[in-house]
Amino acid sequence: MNMTQVKVVARDLGVKPGKMKKAELIRAIQSAEANPQCFNSNSAQNCQQGNCLWREDCI
């Protein structure tokens, strides 16, 4: 997903993208959705979230 698409998702959830980098913004979106903020982290290696919107970019 490109940054423009990520910003659309963020705005739909009430997250203001500002000058956040992609990974920071995705973690903010995950937080707004009450999901673990795991995008592009060490825990991504063992991810069990098969239906995660960010899975393709993360793993």
Rounded Cα distance, 46 and 11, in Å? 29
pLDDT of 47 reads: 81
Q: What are phi and psi of 45, to 5 degrees?
A: -60, -35
Average pLDDT over residues 24-29: 96
pLDDT level of residue 15 (50, 70, 90 thresholds): very high
Write down the mean pLDDT value for the chain.
90
The pTM is what? 0.87
Rounded Cα distance, 11 and 50, in Å? 24
- Lowest mean per-residue pLDDT among 1-5, 20-24, 27-31, 40-44: 40-44
